Amino acid sequence: MKLLKLFATSFSLSLRQALTFRANLVFDAVLSGVALASTIATVLIIFSRTGRLAGWTQPEVLVLIGTFELLSGVKTTFVDPNLAGFPTRGVRQGQLDHHLLQPAPSMFLVSFATAAPLAGVQILLGFAVVLAGAGTSAHHPGAGAFGAWALLVLAATLTTWAVGILFASLAFWAPRLDLHSLFGSVWQLARYPADLYARPLRRLFTYVLPLAVIASAPTRALARPGSPALLLGALATTAAAVLAATVVWRAGLRRYTGAGG
Residue-wise pLDDT tens digits, 156-187? 999 999 999 999 999 899 888 777 878 888 88
Is the per-residue pLDDT at 72 higher than 80?
Answer: yes
- Range with lowest mean pLDDT among 75-89, 205-219, 234-248: 205-219
Q: Distance between CA atoms of 120 and 180, rounded to whole angstroms? A: 20
pTM for this model (two decimals): 0.89
DSSP string, 183-223: HHHHHGGGGS-GGGS-HHHHHIIIIIS-HHHHTHHHHHHHH
Are 234 and 158 in contact, with CB atoms under 8 Å apart?
no
Radius of gyration of the chain (CA): 19
Indicate the residue type of 250: R
- What average pLDDT does the chain have? 87
Calculate ∠ Cα 194-245-193, nearest 5°.
Answer: 5
The model's pLDDT over 84-117, given as tens digits with 9 standing for 90+, comes to: 889 888 888 888 998 888 888 999 999 998 898 8
How is the chain split into domains, by residue range? Answer: 25-255
